[in-house]
Amino acid sequence: MANNIGWIGLGRMGEAMVKRLLKAGHGVSVWNRTSAKATPLLEYGASIAATRQELAACEVVFTMVSTTDDLKEVLFGDGGLVMGGAKPQVVVDSSSISQDGSAEIRARLEAMGVAYLCTPVSGNAKVAKAGKLLMVSSGPKALYDKARPYLQAMARKVMWVGEGELARIWKIAHNTMFGVVIQNLCEITVLAEKAGIARHVFLESINDSVLGSMYTRYKTPVLSNLTFENVTFTPKLLLKDMDLGLSTAKAYGVAMPAAAATRESVSRLVGRGYDNIDFSVLLMETARDAGMELKPEDLKISDGLET
């Protein structure tokens, strides 16, 4: 195959990451369960594979799917990537999955002669589009060194944290903090607004304080203008990651009371039917608990990710 990179999974993140690879001059052949999502990438120079097994001719195949079961399906299910005669040399997975599931997948791939690198990311689709992802890998160091040029095409920084599934632990810890931070940010924003500070003014002050971060800055326009239809991450996906965080904490004997409380708050969002909406809609529920109905501020606010 002329393209030496294969890609499976074109959700919000996958599409943005493929575009970064193409922009860097790499050839990429893509496959997605919903084929219509792949078509727009043709104009950026990608080619579209008719089947997952067609990508087995690529040296390296990236996967970016939602769950452990989804990854097992695209790799080992009927028509899976490695279930035909040809196999790629390397699978690089950037999904958010469990440590145990990842270890099982590693064992199956390596038994087939396919190398495996875990490479989860920090950032949403807009962060990916801006080339500001952090990508964290674990697995054989030599394999990481081989994949590094591809990773650098998609990220502002890449890191290797060790062997095996350690990058899964990193991602689980990262996304657990992700939930706890949005919970606390929503709580203090509601507190400030109820006391009389305009929402955008409070958030701007946090962004310019020692507590500000890329995360608080790119959430500020959403929380100020209540534009939760611009989905970066859904409550259901966040609940999955909070559950992974708590189960991992239990396995290692680490108490995480803040994460446990956040998990229940996110679970309530899911139970109330919040589905295809950004998880930061948590702000609205927090405000209602405080007896407030928030209104959009309808302001033009930079999120710091313009490209």
Measured distance CA(261)–CA(241) in Å, rounded: 14
pLDDT at residue 305, as a whole number: 79
> Which residue reads 């904490």 in tokens?
249
| Torsion angle defined by CA atoms of residues 79, 82, 84 and 86, in that order, rounded to the nearest 10 degrees | 140
pTM value is: 0.89
Max CA pair span of the chain = 66
Per-residue pLDDT of the chain (307 residues; tens, 9 = 90+): 445 899 999 988 999 999 999 999 999 999 999 889 999 999 999 999 999 999 999 999 999 998 999 999 999 999 999 999 999 999 999 998 889 999 999 999 999 999 999 999 999 888 999 999 999 999 999 999 999 999 999 999 999 999 999 999 999 999 999 999 999 999 999 999 999 999 999 999 999 999 999 999 999 999 999 999 999 899 999 999 999 999 999 999 999 999 999 999 999 999 999 999 999 999 999 999 999 999 999 999 888 776 5
Strands (E), the chain: 5-8, 28-31, 47-48, 60-63, 90-93, 115-118, 121-122, 133-137, 155-160
Q: Give the angle 282-284-290 at the CA atoms, nearest 5°.
A: 105
Number of C-beta neighbours around residue 141 at 10 A: 12
Q: How far apart are CA 202 and CA 111, in angstroms?
A: 54
- What secondary structure letter does DSSP report for 244? H
Report which residue type is found at 182. I
For the chain, list the domains and their CATH numbers.
5-164 (3.40.50.720), 168-289 (1.10.1040.10)
pLDDT score for 2: 44
Q: Is the dihedral of CA 170, 172, 174, 180 positive or negative?
A: negative
Half-sphere exposure of 123 (CA within 13 A, CB side): 26
169 SS3 class: helix
pLDDT for the residue numbered 191: 98
